[in-house]
Amino acid sequence: MSVSRPLRTEARGVCPRRTDVGAVVGLLYTLLTLLRDEGATHVGCATDHVIRSFRNGLYPGYKTEAGVPVELLAQFPLAERAMEAMGLVVWPMVEFEADDALATAAARWDGAEGVERILDLHPDKDLANAFGARL
């Protein structure tokens, strides 16, 4: 799961140090719902730990942190720690992107014995193509 979708939710929350944590609250709510209501048994979470990747050198104007609110950027490390605290697998991507990790996991487990379905909770439509027919 990429943190970008839940971190852009409208959930509001402020921790005692007056730090905005609303995006992390939204992320945790989404993950708890997935585990509780959808019956997920294996969850892998990928984050763009470092937003820039090797693609920035290949494609002028490729995504950067420009335009991302500082309050949201500040929540990325907390989101990673919160997912780990839930006992979920977290892949904090540095050289590659969260999309790359999620596509790799989907390719690895699609068709594996005992895997009934793979859920893609990432907003990237191109990534959805990597998940096959059982998405």
pLDDT in tens, 82-124: 999 999 999 999 989 888 898 888 888 888 898 888 887 777 7
DSSP 90: E
> What number is the average pLDDT over the span 7-19?
55
| Threshold 0.85, pTM exceeds | no
Return the percentage of the chain with pLDDT > 70, whole number.
78
pLDDT of 1 > 50? The answer is: no
| pLDDT given for residue 9 in this prediction | 45
Cα dist from 37 to 22, 78, 90, whole Å: 22, 24, 21
Is the predicted pLDDT of residue 49 greater than 80, yes or no? Answer: yes
Cα 38 to Cα 74: distance, rounded to the nearest angstrom: 30
Contacts of 120 (CB under 8 A, 6+ apart): 102, 106, 127, 128, 131, 135
pLDDT at 132: 57
Mean pLDDT of 76-84: 94
